[in-house]
Structure 1
Amino acid sequence: QIALCLRRKTMESKVQVKESSFIAPSEATPTKVLWLSPLDLLQATNGHTPMVYLYRAKADGTAFFDMARIKEALAKALVAFYPLAGRLGVDENGRIEIICNSEGVLFVVADSDLTADDFDFKPSPELGRIFVPRIEPSSIIMGIQVTLLKCGSAVLGTAIHHAAGDGLSAFNFIQTWSAFSGNAAAAAAEQHPCHDRDLLRPRSPPVVHPDALSVLFPEVAFSKQREPTAAAAFTISKDQVAALRRRCGGASAFCAVSALVWQCACAARRLPPGTRVRLVFPAEVRRKLRPPLPDRYFGNAVVRLGVARHVTASESSLASIAGHIAGAIAKVDDELVRSAIDYLELAELKKGSGVPETSTDLRVTSWVGRGSGGMPETDLRITSWLGMPVNDVDFGWGKPQVMSRADSVCAGSVYLMEDAGDEGVAVRMLLGMEAANMDTFERIVSSKRCHLEGLVHVEVLEHLKELLFVMNCEGLSINLMNVGVKGQIALCLRRKTMESKVQVKESSFIAPSEATPTKVLWLSPLDLLQATNGHTPMVYLYRAKADGAAFFDMARIKEALAKALVAFYPLAGRLGVDENGRIEIICNSEGVLFVVADSDLTADDFDFKPSPELGRIFVPRIEPSSIIMGIQVTLLKCGSAVLGTAIHHAAGDGLSAFNFIQTWLGVARHVTASNFSSPAALASVAGHIASAIAKVDDELVRSAIDYLELAELRRKGISIMAPETTADHLRVTSWVGRGSGGMPETDLRITSWLGMPVNDVDFGWGKPQVMSRADSVGTGSVYLMEDAGEAARAASPCACSWAWRLPTWTRLSACFMQTLRRKAARLQLDASSGRQNALQCPLYIFFFENLIRGFLRKLEHIILENE
């Protein structure tokens, strides 16, 4: 706290005020007292709204923030918006009013030794203290400060009292002011604002419709004690907004984005099923009245609406939530607005008469107060500036790079606006959230945005998975923990250096060479089970031939790839989700990502053991991850080449992937690819592994498919006959999750690629010297494949021992498992003897080394016996 306080004081001290004055209208304006409507009084308690705009200086030397020009434009704009140059006052009954006396707007000029990079421009009180003028006395309606930064940029800070007008009114004034600076003639021709606030006078006598209070002024209890709050800014792209609106049945951008934020907030806050949650938001009513208010009405023309629902075990769909919000907006008509005005007027009269307030009156006062704390975790407040000229503030040197509030945003408050960088199509949100929940909220929002682009990792229940699992570090990180800080730094620097030595020369998409079916491919439960594993990265190392034969002819490879995709067309499609959130493949022939790179590295720089480093260097980065397949060819300095592939597991298993690779290379060699069949079913063999394999039949497979389908239905909250237990849920979720760590020491997982054309990947210049996975292999994971250096794998005719007659992978698995059990038992004895602390030290790694050595000794013994 002391450090932050000192930093704040230091930064404030680096801003020096050079000038402070009042700018009055350039022409005579009406001198009168402006009566404020009940909607104005409702907002008056919010005080001044601080905003900041960041402008970057242009490199062309154009005049930048000419103070004389800005002041002249401000004086001209105030002629039409003269209430802003007045002062706040109160009448004999204590009712707030605006005294239009042309005393002027506070205008401050400052400079600073700070730069734009010293700030992230997220909502914070620090921005307000540095870049927004201090309003003294508070009867001043508007203040402006221009701060010139050391880097050449400038920050415009404004503070307009909410009694003067709502967000649309304020932004219309700022836009008019900037227009006078850039094009005075065009600004003068604009329609003048309407200051007739009698249009929102209460009826006589006031009448409140009985149904109005069901959606108006929801009671919100602000906590007096402020919880630690974090602020963040997110942007939802144009394409994401379009996809979100489609998911919400064509709802407006406000309803769709609000539904997304509300759903994510409930998930991040981990609210239990049955909790009643509420969303409150202001609704602009200029066109809801009969007759409508003028478009340029200057004042507060918003009413507060509320929507409530209950959290369910399976969260409501976005379309359903957006429908609730749209339903509340649809209720806003002339009668509801007039009832709101009359209701507020009655509350104001009761307050002035000295009659004690009732709980109904608190419904108003508790909502409008900002308070010093936040809202309860069951509530969310969203303020929309969508459709307003938020970023259309160009004084002649470009639009602002950043626009933001300049005060703290309490937990549960959200502001929506059009993104300055996307021509008003993308949506930018400023959000305050409990600090303890912000990381989870960011992760869930990121996951949801990914789903909108077709990302299909099943992360809807990400916050629940965190409660079920305690993830370890990935394999690489475990090794780093045992080599100390210096080792971590050295490995990190080596990784960055090696990645920087790979230069991408070409990136394109290869589509099928002929027309292919355009359809949506339904995925089976077995596909969905594997879909959470994402893309499987693989690398193949090829050595250049000494005979000078053509080596990795890119045109030839691309042509062969396009031809192979005709038959394997789903790989050229994209992943998506249907209206129920089920993953599917959209066969649209958009193509496979194909990257060509070269590098100063050599093959000897790598041992080609599975590692994330191989993936980062030799496998293309899949963005967006709705792309099903990516390929990268990296030409090394030594003349070798590395082929990296990444195929999403939702598209197929290992055999499917290797069959595609073989077909592709067969076309490249101008030969007809062989049709490879699946490995023959294993006969009855000794041991638990063989007996388990023998149990696999049609009924068991169908049962597995049905079980996974039931799990998918349960996840969606669909009622089914079979009861779900915790064990049922964990049996599925704990198996499919890759996680970032390994399995417990009592478990082992073996994946066999034996019998698959793993190394039969010859494009015409020989088979790969090395083939390997290109990611980390967690502890307890084993992959078996045929050796790339052997031409064939003929079955040995030995019959001396039962073990030697077992299929190869079954023998090795049984041997490995037996050794593992012995080591685990010994480890358990050590733990019971009080030596379990050995697991907490770097010697932990030696357990695995000794396990491998013991396995190899056992394997050697078996071979010697059979010889």
Structure 2
Amino acid sequence: MLLRKSSLSTASSMEFKVRRSPAKIVAPAGPTPHELKLLSDIDDQPGLRLHLPLVQFYSYNPSMARKDPVRIIREALSKALVFYYPLAGRLREGTNGKLMVDCTAEGVPFIEADADVTLDQFGVDIMPPFPCFDELLYLAPSFDIGIINTPLLLIQVTRLKCGGFIFAIRMNHTMFDGAGMGLFLNAIAEIAQGASKPSITPVWCRDLLCARDPPRVTSLLPEYQQQQQPVHDHKSLSSSKACKASFFFGPKEIDALRRLFPPHLADSSSTFEVLTALLWRCRTAAMDCQNPNQEAHLMYTVSARFGPARFNPPLPEGYYGNTFVRLWVVSTVGMLCGQPLSYALELVKKSKKEASEEYVHSTIDQLAIKGRPPFTLAPGTFVVSDNTKSGFRDVDFGWDKPLYSGLAENEKAGASFYFAHTNSKGEHGRLVFICLLEEEMKRFEKELNGIYTSHQP
């Protein structure tokens, strides 16, 4: 049986009080350049102009008993901002909506807090959804009105009764992808442990992911054709209908999943591919579509840092901007749910063949030609974002690695986020955080467990 946690079963009675001090602005610890820095054509897409909340839970460490995580992290942040100085600035919008960072050294809001709760109260295995999360990461009014002329980050560190603490951050997505944020967080952590500078020097170089001159589109990219509803217009699900859940796939679950496929296919497929095929199939079945000819869409991201889309020569190791583009897979509902599970896997693997450096450049060029159109999704699209290589799990401020590190909220219907995770038994695996309608979630869990117990390749 899969380890899972759902908002349907989250203890709503778990309430706690948080005492917050007024936000302090943390500026770079030393002088930094005052300049304008353009974002890349991937960075400033409309679909990335938002703040994402990330959270990390740290347990009590006897060796750090007399040390204050708030003070240590705040001071390390100030020193890290000398190297990541654009993050202490503010976004400006130029001609034709082009975004740039005004490196003003204004700093980052930092909130110190204390909560009358222990880590044990979040469960044996800490994973989202989290009750009362708004207490653990303040939503400043300026973060609720947009991204222009506002801080690029907001951080809250909350001490717990047990001696552990929670690190939470709102990040402006135009500045980072998951791996880029991982670089920044690990830089703070290294300095918190005494380093004078990050082991990986941050690199801006956003021109590397800007359109070619002249631009040329060599791949058809349906998600930018503006024929469907813009993704940022897909409203968050209302609290009465939304259900958020995490599922942990450890070594046993992944091995069992691979046994559902013919050996030649299982051996030639990555964990991402087999897991995505499974979840796409289950999510499509959960939608309970009555028309077998209706299209079922899957969209997932690939990065110019990793895998088949990796640039040659590679992007600089310290590049912390957005590097991902999207791949698209389409089937009919009847074929996806009626054929063996290997059918879905073959489609995912086939789509991977499109992922290349040229595909990334073609995406960027199309964005530039079309004036950075809103990203679009066909209704019911299953969206997957793989963050297992982000480095979130390795962020150690001195209290050891986090018990959970990843997205704090997921309010996009049909979106699934993958994170590297270690459960309470010490098993390393993948945590899948998904949001569906309540009835869809019930059918999704039933379909998922049914495949594990009875499906044959």
Partner of 2:249: 236
For residue 139 of structure 2, the aligned residue among 134, 138, 141 is: 134
Query: 3-state DSSP class of the match of 2:376?
Result: helix
Q: Which amino acid aligns with 2:300?
A: F
Partner of 2:156: 145
Query: 3-state DSSP class of the match of 2:243?
Result: strand
Distance 1:306 1:401 in 2: 33
Q: Does the Cα contact within 8 Å between 2:127 and 2:404 map onto a contact in 1?
A: no
Partner of 2:215: 206
1:165 matches 2:191: no
Percent identity over paired residues: 28
Q: Which amino acid aligns with 1:163?
A: T
Q: State the 1:107 CA deviation.
A: 0.9
Q: State the 1:405 CA deviation.
A: 2.3
Query: 3-state DSSP class of the match of 1:137?
Result: helix
- Give the structure with the higher percent helix: 1
Q: 1:128 to 1:344 in 2, by over 3 A?
A: farther
Q: Which amino acid aligns with 1:410?
A: K
For residue 404 of structure 2, the aligned residue among 381, 402, 405 is: 402
Q: How does 1:151-300 map to 2 (within 5 A)?
A: 151-184=162-195, 188=197, 190-209=199-218, 211-213=219-221, 221=229, 223=234, 226=237, 228-245=241-258, 247=261, 248-249=265-266, 250-272=268-290, 273-286=292-305, 288-300=310-322
Distance 1:327 1:28 in 2: 50
Distance 2:226 2:128 in 1: 25
Q: How does 1:623-642 map to 2 (within 5 A)?
A: none
Farther-moved stretch of structure 1 (313-322 vs 86-95): 313-322
Q: 1:426 to 1:407 in 2, by over 3 A?
A: closer
Deviation string 1:489-542 (CA, Å, 9 cap, x unpaired) is: xxxxxxxxxxxxxxxxxxxxxxxxxxxxxxxxxxxxxxxxxxxxxxxxxxxxxx
Q: 1:20 to 1:9 in 2, by over 3 A?
A: farther
Q: State the 1:423 CA deviation.
A: 7.1
Partner of 2:113: 110
Q: Does the Cα contact within 8 Å between 1:218 and 1:306 map onto a contact in 2?
A: no
Q: Which amino acid aligns with 2:405?
A: M
Q: State the 1:199 CA deviation.
A: 1.1
Q: 1:96 to 1:11 in 2, by over 3 A?
A: farther
Q: 1:326 to 1:158 in 2, by over 3 A?
A: same
Q: Which has the higher contact order (CA 8 A, sep 6+)?
A: 2
Distance 2:114 2:65 in 1: 19
Q: 1:32 to 1:175 in 2, by over 3 A?
A: same
Deviation string 1:269-307 (CA, Å, 9 cap, x unpaired) is: 223433310011121113533443223212111112211
Q: How does 1:476-555 map to 2 (within 5 A)?
A: none
Distance 1:292 1:219 in 2: 34
Q: State the 1:127 CA deviation.
A: 4.7
Distance 1:83 1:50 in 2: 20
Deviation string 1:838-866 (CA, Å, 9 cap, x unpaired) is: xxxxxxxxxxxxxxxxxxxxxxxxxxxxx
Q: How does 1:555-594 map to 2 (within 5 A)?
A: 580-581=456-457
Query: 3-state DSSP class of the match of 1:400?
Result: coil
Q: How does 1:438-453 map to 2 (within 5 A)?
A: 438-449=441-452, 451=453
Please list every run of 5 or more consecutive structure 1 residues that lacks an aligned counterpart in the other structure: 1-6, 350-360, 368-374, 452-457, 461-579, 582-867
For residue 28 of structure 1, the aligned residue among 28, 31, 34 is: 31
Query: 3-state DSSP class of the match of 2:113?
Result: strand
Q: 1:107 to 1:226 in 2, by over 3 A?
A: closer
1:310 matches 2:332: yes
Partner of 2:417: 415
Q: Does the Cα contact within 8 Å between 1:62 and 1:397 map onto a contact in 2?
A: no
Aligned-residue Cα RMSD (Å) equals 3.0
Q: Which amino acid aligns with 1:390?
A: F
Q: Which amino acid aligns with 2:181?
A: A
Query: 3-state DSSP class of the match of 2:409?
Result: coil
Query: 3-state DSSP class of the match of 2:221?
Result: helix
Distance 1:191 1:404 in 2: 21
Distance 2:296 2:273 in 1: 17
Q: 1:290 to 1:135 in 2, by over 3 A?
A: farther
Q: How does 1:8-87 map to 2 (within 5 A)?
A: 14-42=17-45, 45-58=48-61, 62-87=65-90
Distance 2:122 2:428 in 1: 26
Q: State the 1:342 CA deviation.
A: 1.4
Distance 1:333 1:52 in 2: 32
Q: State the 1:124 CA deviation.
A: 5.4
Q: How does 1:408-807 map to 2 (within 5 A)?
A: 408-421=410-423, 425-449=428-452, 451=453, 458=454, 460=455, 580-581=456-457
Report the TM-score when normalising by structure 1.
0.45
Deviation string 1:702-747 (CA, Å, 9 cap, x unpaired) is: xxxxxxxxxxxxxxxxxxxxxxxxxxxxxxxxxxxxxxxxxxxxxx
Report the TM-score when normalising by structure 2.
0.83
Q: Does the Cα contact within 8 Å between 1:172 and 1:389 map onto a contact in 2?
A: yes
Distance 1:431 1:219 in 2: 26
Q: 1:293 to 1:127 in 2, by over 3 A?
A: farther
Query: 3-state DSSP class of the match of 1:322?
Result: helix
Q: State the 1:191 CA deviation.
A: 2.4
Q: Does the Cα contact within 8 Å between 1:25 and 1:75 map onto a contact in 2?
A: yes
Deviation string 1:325-357 (CA, Å, 9 cap, x unpaired) is: 2222221223222221111112227xxxxxxxx
Q: Does the Cα contact within 8 Å between 1:51 and 1:406 map onto a contact in 2?
A: yes
Query: 3-state DSSP class of the match of 1:262?
Result: helix
- Give the structure with the higher percent strand: 2
Q: State the 1:27 CA deviation.
A: 2.7
Please list every run of 5 or more consecutive structure 2 residues that lacks an aligned counterpart in the other structure: 1-10, 144-149
Query: 3-state DSSP class of the match of 2:71?
Result: helix
Q: State the 1:37 CA deviation.
A: 1.5
Q: Does the Cα contact within 8 Å between 2:32 and 2:105 map onto a contact in 1?
A: yes
Q: Does the Cα contact within 8 Å between 1:41 and 1:163 map onto a contact in 2?
A: yes
Q: Which amino acid aligns with 1:236?
A: F
Q: 1:63 to 1:434 in 2, by over 3 A?
A: same
Distance 1:65 1:220 in 2: 50
Q: State the 1:399 CA deviation.
A: 1.6
